[in-house]
Amino acid sequence: MKFPSSTSFALLGAALIAISFGLARFAFGLFVPPIRAELELSPDMIGIIGALPLISFILATLVAPLAADRLGARNTAALSGGFGAVGLVLISQAAGVLSLGVGVVACGICTGLMMPALTAAMQALVKRSLHGRVSSVMNAGTSVGVVIAASAILLLAGAWRYAYFSFAVLAIIGVLATWYLIPSVSRVMPANAAPPPAITTLQWVRLLRLSLFAFVMGFVSAAYWIFAPDLAVTVGALPSGSTGWLWLGVGLAGLGGAVVADLADRNNPPITQALMLMMLSASLALLAASPGNIVIAVFSALVFGLAYMSLTGLYLMTGIRLLPGRLSVGPVLPFISVSLGQAVGSPIVGMLVNEFSYADAFAMFAAIGILAALLSPLYPRSLEPSAEEQGEDETGLQAAYDYQLQTEEGEPYRAVKIEAPSEGN
């Protein structure tokens, strides 16, 4: 088997992330209006269903590192794609709450397994000097998937079952590509690299602070991901098909998130966190204030997409830096916190919509986001005592990956070359 080059692997990873995150996870909110109308679901029931894939995502994420080590990158990624294909088919054929719920749970498992599998494959195939660049390309796949979902609703307005079935076909193609192009190994660890140091109390405290901010961001963003299109259709009286422009805006603006996160690491992460949380809250307020104005609605989507993707990128980078040598812990906990916040926020916003109104519910969630932004000085800014000594060039996502393998002296481990794994591994 011929393994892909770094560029080919990055593009393959972006495609798989587009399917698992963009289509299997984030596309659901876009199709809430027609699904809710056809299946006669209340807002609070939609909120509960919207939380299910987030819960299954968390559970899958917890076992994903073990699965990648035991099953290998190829089998774990293929298993992820299989769950995604089954889940998307079930959603396309949903006749009620039960089948819809099972479908979104399977999609959540798909999302939780995919990134750890791709990370394991990246460590085996890609030179460490390119890990940051490859990760940035793969992470952009989420925005690409959201754009594809938006295009689907624009082209298949009202035909949500056909759209989801087409997503399932893409997931099956992704499984086939995974099987033929991703190696069966999990990762390659140099024998002479130093083991990761013990986690200190200070690191745990900083990781807790990071996770709390990530939880609040996920909690606030749940309102937009699950209910923004339904707000535009139900209150703003926009056609269901026009809501695709919202997700198109989210996806396109989200492509700039990696750039913002990288700049934040080079400058001032707490200020960036505060600004992006303010923007996230403003996007909710804008949509709630003028849901019937398509221009303002799309502008709110652009603001939301840039803020959300920037914050997730910032949390990823901070988590990687917090715990050198522990990729299965550092970036995973804040991502779990984001999903946990969304899982908690989704049914709460549905309950508030049912009890009060969309405007009141979105205003409450926006206020929570603003309050969290004001607490951003507590964001972990200096991740190691020697952080100031690393120099201006030792920032960004690649620098964060460089410090995952260290020598006994605590310096980044430099290897001359990483050979591609043999077929027998």
Contact assessment for residue 215 and residue 263, using Cβ atoms and an 8 Å cutoff? no
Residue-wise pLDDT tens digits, 31-47: 888 898 899 888 889 99
For residues 159 and 249, membership in a common domain is answered with no
Per-residue pLDDT for 295 more than 60? yes
Residue 128 in any domain: the answer is yes
Give 85's contacts (C-beta < 8 A, 6+ positions apart). 168, 171, 172, 175
For residues 231 and 317, membership in a common domain is answered with yes
Residue 416 in any domain: the answer is no
For residues 205 and 182, membership in a common domain is answered with no
Q: Given this model, what pLDDT does residue 401 score?
A: 60
Q: How far is CA 83 from CA 74, 106, 254, 258, in A?
A: 14, 5, 26, 28
Rounded average pLDDT over 345-366? 91
The closest alpha carbon to 120, from 198, 188, 205, 52, belongs to 188
For residues 160 and 204, membership in a common domain is answered with no
Q: Given this model, what pLDDT does residue 33 score?
A: 86
Tell me how far apart the alpha carbons of residues 395 and 382 are, in angstroms, rounded to a whole number: 12
C-alpha count within 13 angstroms, C-beta hemisphere, residue 215 = 10
For residues 168 and 140, membership in a common domain is answered with yes
Q: Given this model, what pLDDT does residue 110 score?
A: 95
Residue 18 in any domain: the answer is yes
> Helix (H, G, I), strand (E, B), or coil: what is residue 24?
coil
Which band of pLDDT confidence, cut at 50, 70 and 90, is reported for residue 369? very high
Domain final residue pick, 125, 156, 187 = 187
Q: How far is CA 35 from CA 143, 151, 187, 242, 290, in A?
A: 23, 17, 41, 15, 23
Alpha helix positions (H), 3-158: 6-17, 32-39, 43-92, 97-125, 131-139, 141-155
More confident residue, 304 or 191: 304
Residue 19 in any domain: the answer is yes
More confident residue, 65 or 278: 278
Q: Given this model, what pLDDT does residue 170 score?
A: 95
Rounded average pLDDT over 97-101? 93
Tell me how far apart the alpha carbons of residues 177 and 171 are, in angstroms, rounded to a whole number: 10
More confident residue, 308 or 406: 308
Per-residue pLDDT for 301 more than 50? yes
At residue 200, what are phi and psi to the nearest 5 degrees?
-85, 165
Q: Given this model, what pLDDT does residue 49 score?
A: 92
Q: What is the DSSP letter of 19?
A: I
Residue-wise pLDDT tens digits, 207-249: 899 999 999 999 999 999 989 988 988 888 888 778 888 888 9
C-alpha count within 13 angstroms, C-beta hemisphere, residue 423 = 5
For residues 68 and 19, membership in a common domain is answered with yes
Question: Among 63-67, 115-119, 340-344, which range has the highest average pLDDT?
Answer: 340-344
Contact assessment for residue 28 and residue 47, using Cβ atoms and an 8 Å cutoff? no
For residues 84 and 232, membership in a common domain is answered with no
Q: Given this model, what pLDDT does residue 332 score?
A: 80
Residue 227 in any domain: the answer is yes
Q: Given this model, what pLDDT does residue 216 score?
A: 96
Q: Given this model, what pLDDT does residue 160 score?
A: 87
Residue-wise pLDDT tens digits, 139-169: 888 889 988 988 888 887 678 899 999 999 9
| CATH number, domain with residue 156 | 1.20.1250.20
Per-residue pLDDT for 268 more than 90? no
For residues 251 and 316, membership in a common domain is answered with yes
Per-residue pLDDT for 371 more than 90? yes
Which band of pLDDT confidence, cut at 50, 70 and 90, is reported for residue 272? confident
> Helix (H, G, I), strand (E, B), or coil: what is residue 264?
helix
Q: Given this model, what pLDDT does residue 258 score?
A: 67
Domain final residue pick, 154, 187, 220 = 187
Rounded average pLDDT over 342-355? 92
Q: What is the mean pLDDT of the chain?
A: 83
> Helix (H, G, I), strand (E, B), or coil: what is residue 410?
coil
Q: Given this model, what pLDDT does residue 78 score?
A: 94
Give 390's contacts (C-beta < 8 A, 6+ positions apart). 399
The closest alpha carbon to 230, from 144, 136, 357, 334, belongs to 357
For residues 182 and 244, membership in a common domain is answered with no
Residue indicated by tokens 């481990």: 413
For residues 377 and 228, membership in a common domain is answered with yes
Per-residue pLDDT for 407 more than 80? no
Which band of pLDDT confidence, cut at 50, 70 and 90, is reported for residue 406? low
Residue 421 in any domain: the answer is no
Domains in the chain, number: 2
More confident residue, 39 or 3: 39
| End-to-end Cα spacing for the chain | 12
> Helix (H, G, I), strand (E, B), or coil: what is residue 290?
coil
Contact assessment for residue 66 and residue 110, using Cβ atoms and an 8 Å cutoff? no
User: What type of residue sits at position 156?
Assistant: L
More confident residue, 110 or 403: 110
The model carries a pTM of 0.82
Rounded average pLDDT over 364-372? 95
At residue 246, what are phi and psi to the nearest 5 degrees?
-65, -50
Give 279's contacts (C-beta < 8 A, 6+ positions apart). 303, 304, 306, 307
> Helix (H, G, I), strand (E, B), or coil: what is residue 420?
coil
For residues 148 and 219, membership in a common domain is answered with no
User: What type of residue sits at position 408?
Assistant: E
Tell me how far apart the alpha carbons of residues 202 and 190 are, in angstroms, rounded to a whole number: 28
Per-residue pLDDT for 175 more than 90? yes
User: What are the respective helix, strand and coil percentages of the chain, to the nearest 5?
Assistant: 75, 0, 25
Residue 425 in any domain: the answer is no
Residue-wise pLDDT tens digits, 274-285: 999 999 999 999
For residues 31 and 89, membership in a common domain is answered with yes
- Per the DSSP assignment, residues forming a β-bridge with 412 are 406
User: What type of residue sits at position 141?
Assistant: G
Per-residue pLDDT for 415 more than 80? no
Share above pLDDT 70 across residues of the chain, in percent, rounded to a whole number? 82
Share above pLDDT 90 across residues of the chain, in percent, rounded to a whole number? 39
Q: Given this model, what pLDDT does residue 319 score?
A: 83
At residue 383, what are phi and psi to the nearest 5 degrees?
-85, -25
At residue 406, what are phi and psi to the nearest 5 degrees?
-130, 160
Residue 10 in any domain: the answer is yes
Question: Among 211-225, 368-382, 403-417, which range has the highest average pLDDT?
Answer: 211-225
Which band of pLDDT confidence, cut at 50, 70 and 90, is reported for residue 121? confident
Domain that holds residue 248: 200-383+392-409
Domain final residue pick, 153, 187, 221 = 187
